[in-house]
Structure 1
Amino acid sequence: MEENKELEKKKNINKMIIMMFLCVIVYNFGHPGTPALIEMRGWEKSVSGELLAFMSVAMFISSPYLGAIADHIGMKKLFIFMPFIYGTSQLFFGFVPQLPLVFIARVVSGFASGGTYAIAFGYVSQLSKSGEKAKNIAKVSSATVIGGAIGQKIGGMVADIDPRYSFVLQFICGSIVSIIILFLMKEIICRKDKTEKLDPKKLNPFATFKYIKDLDNYSRYFCLIILLSGIGIYSYANALNYFLRFNEKVSSNTIGTFVMFSSLTAFFGTAFLLEKLVSKFKEKNIYKFMILIGIIFMAVILFEVKLDVIPYVIMAIYTMSYEMVRSLGNTIIAKRYKENQGKILGVASAVGSLGNAIGSLLSGHLLKMSEFLPFITNIAVMGIVFLLILFNKFDKEKIEKN
């Protein structure tokens, strides 16, 4: 009987992994066509970063809200609507010319995206044994990387016909995925007392920052590192597609191909290379090394771009390096504590989301001022990050026993 229950749980975990794979494919259809859409509308280049910033902030806010609600009313009940809501908002994004409505559509997309990830990770974590949580969550993450690569490629091909078509495809496929979830997924509620009422105070998306005071000095210091890393990485990463479209006149299909290649390279780095490095070196030393390597790569990229060359391979390897940096940041903080992992990683994730939003907001304005500024800003900010890691004074603090 117990064995049958475990088999059922594994089946449901695998179903969620498949659903996330499908969701992320759909969610990435529109990215390669977005620069062409902005160009078609005649909007300012800075709008690209502003839209991404709004979406990042919405993702940050929606995760605790929708995750907590799903715990109480049932995860499937909420998850089923996420692809449909995302696709509907993207349809508005693609066809409504009024910029204020476009920003609202982007916020709704961010809410749906943040809710999708929060519910999926919560679902898998709830069904996993204690010793298998990390492995199963890693499977979800790997599925999203591969799904994102496929989605970007398909979206780029469709956007070459007409950038608006990729958003139509998101609506159609998002609706289909919601129907698949309806018939395939099993409902779970993540609380023991099903009569317990939902406490609105627990839904405060900014409550995570109260936990910062519970961290040791080194962990708080490293949260600053994660924040700055997010700003440095995304001031470049979120400007790159627009740089390729606006400045290099690259087709949406080519952008999709490049992003797919970059995603696959990042998957190799996080799924295989990082595992090998961690088995031989300390995470902190790997983190420093990858930051330094990233700075060197970015300097080479800037030099090549100034020579009117697009170094796609080096850009893809840089993408791998910063994905490894992002993975390591959470691990470094989490390993300092034996308990309260959800709370600890919640702080790290929230700080990372803020860095992403700030970097996204900067990216469009930097690109508007100069095509080289996103690259220069990345080098400058990541240089500061490297020095902060190299000369921090909290490095020798003992790991917490709690």
Structure 2
Amino acid sequence: MKMTERKRVYLYFVVNFLYLMACNFAHPVTPTIIQQRGFGDYMFGVALAAMMLANFFFSPFWGKLVNFLSSRRVILICSLGYAAGQAMFFMANTEGTMVAARMFAGVFVGGVFTAFLTYLVNTSPDHQRSNYLTIAATIQTVGSAFGYFVGGMLGEINVSVAIIAQVVTLAGCGILFYFICEDDAASKIEEVRLKDLAREANPLVAFLDGKSILTPLLVTLLVVGALSGLGNSAFDQSFNYYLKAQLGLSSGYNGAIKAVIGFVCLAANSTLGLWLINKTDIRRSSIYVYLLCSVSMVGVVLFDAIVPFVAANVIYFGFFAISVPLTQSLVANMGKGKDSNLIMGYFNGLKSLGGIFGAFSAGLLYTINPKWPFILGLAAFAFATVVSAYHYYLSDHKVSVREATCHTDS
């Protein structure tokens, strides 16, 4: 019996939620793993930066391969690879092997999240695309938060329980995605010559092939994505480690706080986020959302007491959750047609590039002063606000010029 489109979409988002939860099972126990093995405090940032570096290089590559393999095959391959990488991460007993394991996992993480975006862009009706992307962004934020909670609770039993649950769930969800998703490949793999496939499989070629699509409007959006990735990576990773190292909270408390953040993000995106996308000019709305992210970060930097510090963090995460679908929708609207997969790969890759610098810098800055990574995040979102405003200026100016030209021609 053929699956209806409505049921397919429902099952896709359910499994997507489980997958994103599993992605975060390891995060609340990572500080414990690092401390138990006697690694330096900087390792929480360095290991994540290694993962994001591989993500950055391979995201456009997976975006290109979606054309031949389909999103569902890429998700299956990369889910199994990501699961293997996390098992390697847990077994690492030196700093070098931990970094190598994170980098291995990053190769496949880039494929999963690129394919998530390309599948929605390729298969959703035009009038539903923005709503689907908003749902996906909400699920990513809320699923991640509840994943922290579950991982934290599992970590209270034993660190290994959280990692084993993650590996099994990632692999299982990858298999489910393969059977739920429809085939969105633009070309059949049998019709592609081995020489052409080898060329497409080169990550550097995938980046170079995108030069023709890099218009000023798209570049500004990619820069906004990179800056928000930088700011959130520096902020999020430091927040998790700060709770453990500075405030002395266990992985269970860490997970519980993330669960509260998940509820806030769900409420924010289900109400204000959807309203902004459906009722406002999201080019302008995104400017104010990034500005509010910056303002809330000021409170994080200034407060030391646990209650106002955590409260300021919760407010920040709420506004950041709203910013994600706004930017994704703007990029997706520019990525229609044959270049959509490559554009979404670029977006995911550049966001990861920002995350590389954010995570690596956060790890180093934390050793100097625990609050410095938060200051870096504040600066990144302040710049994102400025670049977002410049994007609005460029797009508005382009529309004005086009209207003036049409008026003159008539």
Q: TM-score range by the shorter chain?
A: 0.7 to 0.9
Task: From the superposition, tell whether residues 276 and 153 of structure 1 become closer, same or farther in structure 2 (CA, over 3 Å).
Answer: same
Which residue is 1:398 aligned to?
398
Task: Return the alpha-carbon distance in structure 1 between the equivalents of residues 227 and 126 of structure 2.
Answer: 32
Which residue is 1:173 aligned to?
169
Which residue is 2:219 aligned to?
220
Q: CA deviation at 1:303?
A: 1.8
Task: Return the alpha-carbon distance in structure 2 between the equivalents of residues 390 and 175 of structure 1.
Answer: 41
Cα deviation 1:166-195 (Å, max 9, x = unaligned): 11222333444456557x546736135553
After TM superposition, list the pairs within 5 Å mapping 1:261-280 onto structure 2.
261-280=260-279
Task: Return the alpha-carbon distance in structure 2 between the equivalents of residues 285 and 203 of structure 1.
Answer: 38
Task: From the superposition, tell whether residues 22 and 227 of structure 1 become closer, same or farther in structure 2 (CA, over 3 Å).
Answer: closer
Q: CA deviation at 1:77?
A: 4.7
Task: From the superposition, tell whether residues 203 and 250 of structure 1 become closer, same or farther in structure 2 (CA, over 3 Å).
Answer: same
Aligned to 1:288, the other structure's residue is in SS state helix
After TM superposition, list the pairs within 5 Å mapping 1:9-48 onto structure 2.
9-48=5-44
Task: Return the alpha-carbon distance in structure 2 between the equivalents of residues 124 and 338 of structure 1.
Answer: 12
Runs of at least 5 residues in structure 1 that lack an aligned partner in the other structure:
none
Task: Return the alpha-carbon distance in structure 2 between the equivalents of residues 125 and 337 of structure 1.
Answer: 8
Task: Return the alpha-carbon distance in structure 2 between the equivalents of residues 100 and 360 of structure 1.
Answer: 17
Which residue is 1:49 aligned to?
45
Deviates more, 1:91-100 or 1:224-233: 224-233
Which residue is 1:350 aligned to?
349
Task: Return the alpha-carbon distance in structure 2 between the equivalents of residues 273 and 85 of structure 1.
Answer: 37
| TM-score, length of structure 1 as denominator length | 0.84
Q: CA deviation at 1:359?
A: 0.8
Which residue is 1:373 aligned to?
372
Cα deviation 1:337-366 (Å, max 9, x = unaligned): 876544544443332221122111111111
| TM-score, length of structure 2 as denominator length | 0.83
Runs of at least 5 residues in structure 2 that lack an aligned partner in the other structure:
403-410
Please point out which of 61, 65, 69 is paired with 1:65.
61
Q: CA deviation at 1:99?
A: 1.9
**Contact map agreement 2:58 2:110 (CA 8 A) in 1:** yes
Deviates more, 1:139-148 or 1:240-249: 139-148
Task: Return the alpha-carbon distance in structure 1 between the equivalents of residues 394 and 234 of structure 2.
Answer: 28
After TM superposition, list the pairs within 5 Å mapping 1:239-318 onto structure 2.
239-305=238-304, 307=305, 309=307, 311-318=309-316
Counterpart check, 1:149 vs 2:145: yes
Cα deviation 1:299-319 (Å, max 9, x = unaligned): 2222212x4655323211101
Q: CA deviation at 1:158?
A: 1.4
Task: Return the alpha-carbon distance in structure 1 between the equivalents of residues 126 and 321 of structure 2.
Answer: 26
Among all aligned residue pairs of Structure 1 and Structure 2, give the percentage whose two residues are the same amino acid: 21
Aligned to 1:171, the other structure's residue is in SS state helix
State the superposition RMSD in angstroms.
3.2
Which amino acid in structure 2 is aligned with residue 252 of structure 1? Answer: S
Task: From the superposition, tell whether residues 341 and 236 of structure 1 become closer, same or farther in structure 2 (CA, over 3 Å).
Answer: same
Deviates more, 1:203-212 or 1:163-172: 203-212
Aligned positions, number: 395
Which residue is 1:320 aligned to?
318
Task: Return the alpha-carbon distance in structure 1 between the equivalents of residues 75 and 329 of structure 2.
Answer: 27
Task: Return the alpha-carbon distance in structure 2 between the equivalents of residues 181 and 220 of structure 1.
Answer: 32
Which amino acid in structure 2 is aligned with residue 262 of structure 1? Answer: I
Task: Return the alpha-carbon distance in structure 1 between the equivalents of residues 231 and 29 of structure 2.
Answer: 24
**Contact map agreement 1:266 1:319 (CA 8 A) in 2:** yes
Please point out which of 154, 157, 160 is paired with 1:158.
154
Please point out which of 73, 97, 106 is paired with 1:101.
97
Task: Return the alpha-carbon distance in structure 2 between the equivalents of residues 338 and 181 of structure 1.
Answer: 23
Task: Return the alpha-carbon distance in structure 2 between the equivalents of residues 177 and 333 of structure 1.
Answer: 27
Which residue is 1:202 aligned to?
200
Cα deviation 1:205-248 (Å, max 9, x = unaligned): 34346535544434434433433333233222221101111111
Q: CA deviation at 1:125?
A: 4.5
**Contact map agreement 2:26 2:151 (CA 8 A) in 1:** yes
Aligned to 2:223, the other structure's residue is in SS state helix
**Contact map agreement 2:65 2:200 (CA 8 A) in 1:** no
Aligned to 2:28, the other structure's residue is in SS state coil
Which amino acid in structure 1 is aligned with residue 191 of structure 2? Answer: E
Q: CA deviation at 1:398?
A: 0.6
Task: Return the alpha-carbon distance in structure 2 between the equivalents of residues 128 and 151 of structure 1.
Answer: 27
Aligned to 1:32, the other structure's residue is in SS state helix
Cα deviation 1:249-304 (Å, max 9, x = unaligned): 11101111112222332233334212223455432332222222222211222221
